[in-house]
């Protein structure tokens, strides 16, 4: 096996592991073969990531008397998720619905991001667009009134701000380029991600880490840092869409099947269905395989006039043709995505140093970039208000 092939395999494994971690630390551990003596003994790593095989492996060592029921439940889960997959495929084909109904992206948001990306930007141009977004107006006012930022203003302007227009001016154009995309992505996050309670927070933290890493890498390589930060924030909108869609579709399809089983008096099926919950394996695989493609479609539909994201997303999802090379911004995004995932895996002790090294080599990180990123706080941006 060549070094490049080994690096590619490692990169794919670690990316999948990062998606597993979104659904839970214990789940991510189980997927790489750890044994949980207080839970289920998985033994060897699971080679095939299918619902039926995982469900069977999870109960392989249970009492013989329960084997038939668990096998039946595994089959019920498989059938349920086949129906969910079909329903989701149909919904994802309507990208307008995904944009406006699933995620909840209003037309004013891409318009604001576009204005912020050009030299002719002004608060006057932003004001009517921001005022039409009640959540953004509220978030801007709350933000500028945080104690940390109120203390930065002089004694004549440190009074509480209650006007979105005034908040825009206090924050300033340079800061709004970072604040608005951050608030937008946070607004689009699912309200609840049960039964994965930490998923929402991890999605939010990963978006922030990716955006800041992208900004820092861009600065080192002479790439527009505003473009890098904005796209870094937007890179997980596909995950947001899939999480929202899966949890909503699971509930609808599950309720319909439970009702039908009860009405038709299928007692075993009804009992099995009542035990089922949203499946982390199904969702993790969905995120890994489809989220970046959904992000590319959503960004294309946002129809930016000035932000050059479409061809970058095409390269990230389809790769480059022979003889071509990655656009500078695409290379930045690859590295930012990798590093933000690495930091999360490292925090949970789910990546070894040799694995990380192969991953970084595959993404073409430079030593200077890695040394710089080690010193950067990827959790919060730091801005100053005049």
pLDDT tens per residue across span 36-49: 433 444 334 444 45
Average pLDDT in the 228-232 region?
98
Per residue in 317-361, pLDDT (tens digit) is 999 887 789 999 999 999 999 999 999 999 999 999 999 999 999
385: in domain: no
Residues 168-194 have pLDDT tens digits of 998 999 999 999 999 999 999 999 999
21 & 84 share domain: yes
112 lies in the same domain as 85: no
- My answer on whether 159 and 266 are in the same domain is no
**310 occurs within a structural domain:** yes
Same-domain pairing of 160 and 62:
no
Q: Are residues 241 and 263 in the same domain?
A: yes
Q: Which of 187, 209, 231 is the last residue of a domain?
A: 187
59 secondary structure, DSSP code: T
Burial of 182 (0-12, 13-18, 19+ CB in 10 A): buried
Q: Point out the domain boundary residue: 187, 221, 240.
A: 187
Q: Which two tokens stand for residue 168?
A: 């825009």
Flag whether 48 is in a domain: yes
Domain residues for the domain of 315 are: 3-93+189-374
Structural domain tally of the chain?
2
Asked whether residue 379 is assigned to any structural domain, the reply reads: no
Q: Is the per-residue pLDDT at 54 higher than 60?
A: no
Residue-wise over 330-358: b if at least 16 C-beta within 10 A, else e?
Answer: bbbbbbbbbbbbbbbbeeeebbeeebbeb
pLDDT, mean of residues 123-137: 96
Q: What share of the chain is helix, strand, coil (3-state, %, to 5)?
A: 70, 0, 30
- Domain membership flag for residue 383: no
Report the mean per-residue pLDDT for the chain. 89
More confident site: 161 or 140: 140
152 and 225 housed in the same domain? no
Q: Which two tokens stand for residue 74?
A: 């595994």
Residue 247 pLDDT > 90: yes
Same domain membership, residue 205 and residue 178: no
**Whether residues 24 and 143 fall in one domain:** no
User: Which stretch, 35-39, 53-57, 319-323, 379-383, has highest mean pLDDT?
Assistant: 319-323
CA distance 193 to 243: 8
**Would you say 104 and 188 are in contact if contact means Cβ atoms under 8 Å apart?**
yes
Tens-digit pLDDT profile for residues 194-229: 999 999 999 999 999 999 999 999 999 999 999 999
Query: Is residue 171 one of the residues assigned to a domain?
Result: yes
pLDDT at 270: 92
The verdict on 124 and 70 lying in the same domain is: no
Query: Are 61 and 45 in a shared domain?
Result: yes
DSSP SS3 for 146: coil
| Domain shared by 282 and 299, yes or no | yes
């Amino acid at each position: 096996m060549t070094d490049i092939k080994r690096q590619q395999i490692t990169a794919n494994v670690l990316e999948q592991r990062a998606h597993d971690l979104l659904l839970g630390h214990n789940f991510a551990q189980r997927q790489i073969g750890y044994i949980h003596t207080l839970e289920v003994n998985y033994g060897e790593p699971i080679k095939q990531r299918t619902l039926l095989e995982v469900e069977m492996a999870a109960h392989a060592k249970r009492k013989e008397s329960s084997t038939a029921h668990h096998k039946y439940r595994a089959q019920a889960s498989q059938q349920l998720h086949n129906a969910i997959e079909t329903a989701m495929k149909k919904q994802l084909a309507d990208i307008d619905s995904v944009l406006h109904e699933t995620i909840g992206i209003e037309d004013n948001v891409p318009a604001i991001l576009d204005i912020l990306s050009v030299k002719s930007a002004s608060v006057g141009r932003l004001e009517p667009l921001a005022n039409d977004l009640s959540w953004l107006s509220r978030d801007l006012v709350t933000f500028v009134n945080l104690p940390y930022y109120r203390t930065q203003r002089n004694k004549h302007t440190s009074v509480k701000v209650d006007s979105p227009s005034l908040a825009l001016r206090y924050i300033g154009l340079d800061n709004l380029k970072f604040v608005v995309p951050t608030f937008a992505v946070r607004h689009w996050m699912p309200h609840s991600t049960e039964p994965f309670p930490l998923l929402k927070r991890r999605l939010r933290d990963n978006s922030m880490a990716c955006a800041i890493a992208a900004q820092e890498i861009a600065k080192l390589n002479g790439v527009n840092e505003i473009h890098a930060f904005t796209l870094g924030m937007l890179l997980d909108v596909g995950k947001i869409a899939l999480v929202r869609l899966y949890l909503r579709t699971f509930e609808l399809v599950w309720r319909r099947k439970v009702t039908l089983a009860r009405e038709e008096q299928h007692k075993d099926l009804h009992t099995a269905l009542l035990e089922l919950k949203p499946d982390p394996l199904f969702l993790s695989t969905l995120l890994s395989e489809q989220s970046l493609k959904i992000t590319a479609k959503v960004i294309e539909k946002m129809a930016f006039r000035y932000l050059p994201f479409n061809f970058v997303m095409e390269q990230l999802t389809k790769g480059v043709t022979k003889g071509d090379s990655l656009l500078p911004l695409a290379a930045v995004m690859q590295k930012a995505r990798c590093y933000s995932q690495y930091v999360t895996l490292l925090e949970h002790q789910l990546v070894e140093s040799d694995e990380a090294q192969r991953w970084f080599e595959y993404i073409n990180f430079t030593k200077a970039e890695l040394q710089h990123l080690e010193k950067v706080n990827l959790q919060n941006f730091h801005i100053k208000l005049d």
